[in-house]
Amino acid sequence: MPTPAQVDALAELLATRTPIVVIETHDERRVAALFGLVAQRGNREVWQWSASRGLRVAHNLKLELADMGTGPLGADANDTKELPQALAAVEKLKGNPLVLFLDIHPFLSNPVITRAMKELALKTEAKGLQTVFVGHDIALPDELAPYASRFELEPMTLERIKSLFSEELQVRRQRSGGDLAGERATLESLMRHMVGLPEPSVRHMVRTTLADGRICTADLARILALKREVMGAAELLVFEQNLPGMDQVAGMKALKRWLLLRREAFLQGNATGLPPPRGVLLLGVQGAGKSLAAKAVAASWQVPLFRMDFGALFDKFQGESERKLREALRVADAMQPCVLWMDEVEKGLSTGSGDGDTGAGQRMLGTLLTWMAERKSAVFLVATANDIERLPPELMRKGRFDEIFFVDLPDAATREAILRIHLGKHRIDADNAVLAELARACEGFAGAEIEAAVLAARYEAHALGQPAGASHVRAELGRTKPLSVTRAEAIGSLRAWAADRTVSAD
């Protein structure tokens, strides 16, 4: 049922006598209910046109949807299934009717239809007629743009979703007699992720969740997948699963503490009286654990993680890359609360002028910066970067991120922790003395290089027909030249730049 505020907002818009109202939605039932209330308030007729049923009365005070049977002026509604005939019939309507055109978007590319709609719009002042375009994706022709105003339906709020959930749960109890099992926290998370979706989609998701009578974390993954399908842009945002916890991230004590202090403010929103955190930039040496930390943020906050795929964003047609980025950010907003991970952001937002560059990187950067500044959604942005030279300076300005952390090569204690994690995964025994020895042997190694050395040691031991042990790891570390050696100058320059400009993650 539309809220009084929504009815008031639509009534105020119609009072401006705008010739065309555009409503992008899948939820035709809510549109019909909303215009029914407006019709009663203003004593106006509401007509609906669709390609399958033609032009029919939708609301006329005492008339209900089920009573629709004839078209205007006593003509059979079948005569108005073709849009030109329907428009001719609309011109003959008396009074100040509202005419809803359902799924009108495919017809707006026809110049004859566009001209006929413009002629109706020009008669609005004289006749009091107003038209409403309803569809899921309406690209308005330039000829009609000056005569149109857009109206947005209220998104499904958490309160409405809880009410709908209770309603569906009651129906289930009456049918099966069974109750619902599971964790309250998981149920609350499920309902939060349904916020903002069309009501039919929410009802389908609720029924899917209730089907087995048990709420579990698998339901959350399924709901998020359904939500991405409903919102679109699923190929642009990758839903990351099987995330590591913070206990799998060695070191980074300062970053962990920073995140812990802001967890409640992010999850509880205005309830804490604090502005929610907006995001961090993790800059550092390749393989030092930036991506691992980004994944662990989502796991520790118990929210989904979406990785933006810059490869899928770029398009050969001018303007398409920016459009895809806007669409991906719109979907990220709809998936709140969540963590949005932009990996190696400098590669996706390069603003250089190399061969074939048409300025797409610069325009995409502008789109991202606008979203970062204006967004109201609970989307925590984690951007990771390796190459400071390619990082756009606009992105580094104070205020773009809450904080910029530098992830350096691990110290001795952190290297021991990394070794303990990976030796444990591969079931290689090592006491404290051996761990300390191996940690000294891998000085200058990044976390990813230590992990690779442990795995290589297992391959070596397997080839020799031996159980993997610390000696194999020690030998592999001795054969490996880490990035800090092969690219010593670049890493030294990065560390020098970060020393006075960033906060250490450790």
pLDDT surpasses 80 at 404: yes
* Distance between CA atoms of residues 409 and 250, nearest Å: 11
Say which residues have a Cβ less than 8 Å from residue 162's Cβ, sequence separation at least 6: 191
Model confidence over 129-175: pLDDT tens digits?
999 999 988 889 999 999 999 998 877 777 888 888 888 888 888 88
352, pLDDT greater than 80: no
Last residue of a domain, one of 407, 423, 450: 407
Whether residue 174 sits in one domain with residue 142: no
pLDDT greater at residue 227 or residue 332: 332
Q: Does some domain include residue 492?
A: no
Residue 3 CA from chain centroid, whole number: 26
End position of a domain, from candidates 374, 407, 440: 407
Q: Are residues 19 and 103 in the same domain?
A: yes
Rounded distance, CA 220 to CA 140, Å? Answer: 37
Q: Give the number of domains in the chain.
A: 4
Query: Mean of the pLDDT values across residues 397-418?
Result: 90
Same domain, 138 and 165: no
Q: What is the DSSP letter of 353?
A: -
Across residues 38-48, what is the average pLDDT?
A: 88
- Pick the residue with more confidence: 470 or 226? 470
Is 262 buried (19+), middle (13-18) or exposed (0-12) by CB count in 10 A?
A: buried
Asked whether the predicted pLDDT for residue 205 surpasses 60, the reply is yes
Residues 209 and 222 in one domain: yes
The range of the structural domain enclosing residue 40 comes to 4-150
Based on the fold, state whether residues 143 and 163 are members of the same structural domain.
no
Q: How confident is the model at residue 424 (pLDDT cuts 50, 70, 90)?
A: very high
User: What tens digit of pLDDT does each residue of 451-473 get?
Assistant: 999 999 999 999 999 999 999 99
Buried (b) or exposed (e) across 94-126, using 16+ Cβ within 10 A? Answer: eebbbbbbbbbbebbeeeebbebbbebbeebee
Does 253 share its domain with 369? yes
Residue 496 lies in a domain: no
Tens digit of pLDDT for each residue in 235-264? 677 878 788 889 889 999 999 999 999 999
Q: How confident is the model at residue 410 (pLDDT cuts 50, 70, 90)?
A: very high
pLDDT reported for residue 472: 93
Q: Which of 254, 258, 256, 250 is nearest to 289 (CA)?
A: 250
Q: Is residue 504 part of a domain?
A: no
Q: Say yes or no: 189 and 263 in one domain.
A: no
User: Average pLDDT for residues 266-291, to the nearest whole number?
Assistant: 87
Q: How confident is the model at residue 64 (pLDDT cuts 50, 70, 90)?
A: very low
The whole-model pTM stands at 0.67
Question: How far is Cα 369 from Cα 341, in angstroms, rounded to an integer?
Answer: 15
CATH number of the domain that residue 345 is part of: 3.40.50.300
User: Is residue 441's pLDDT more than 50?
Assistant: yes
The amino acid sitting at 116 is A
* Same-domain check for residues 399 and 416: no
Q: Are residues 358 and 429 in the same domain?
A: no
Are 443 and 412 in contact by the 8 Å Cβ rule? The answer is yes
- What is the C-alpha to C-alpha distance for residues 432 and 363, in angstroms, rounded to an integer? 53
CA dist., res. 125 & res. 63, Å (int): 27
30 and 169 co-located in one domain = no
Q: How far apart are CA 433 and CA 450, in angstroms?
A: 18
Contact 199, 185 (CB under 8 A): no
Task: In whole angstroms, give the CA distance from residue 37 to residue 44.
Answer: 10
Least confident span in 62-66, 91-95, 306-310, 340-344: 62-66
CATH for 449? 1.10.8.60
**395, pLDDT greater than 90:** no
CA dihedral 238, 241, 245, 250 (to 10 degrees): -60
Position 358 pLDDT exceeds 60? no
Q: Percent of the chain at pLDDT above 70?
A: 90
Residue 58 forms part of a structural domain: yes
Q: How confident is the model at residue 230 (pLDDT cuts 50, 70, 90)?
A: low
Look at residue 498 and tell me if it is in a domain: no
pLDDT number for residue 233:
54
With respect to residue 491, please indicate whether it lies within any of the assigned structural domains. no
Q: Indicate which CATH number applies to the domain containing 144.
A: 3.40.50
Residue where a domain terminates, one of 94, 125, 150: 150
As a whole number of angstroms, the distance between CA 313 and CA 299 comes to: 26
User: Cα(151)–Cα(8) distance, rounded to whole angstroms?
Assistant: 12
In a domain, 493, yes or no: no
Task: For residue 207, give both structure tokens.
Answer: 């029924």
DSSP result, 412-454: HHHHHHHHHHHHHHTT----HHHHHHHHHHTTT--HHHHHHHH
Predicted local distance difference test score (pLDDT) of residue 317? 62
User: Residue 78's pLDDT band (boundaries 50, 70, 90)?
Assistant: low
Is residue 297 located within the same domain as residue 403?
yes
Q: Are residues 359 and 422 in the same domain?
A: no
In-domain check, residue 100: yes
Q: Are 71 and 87 in contact (CB under 8 A)?
A: no
Average pLDDT, rounded, for the chain:
84
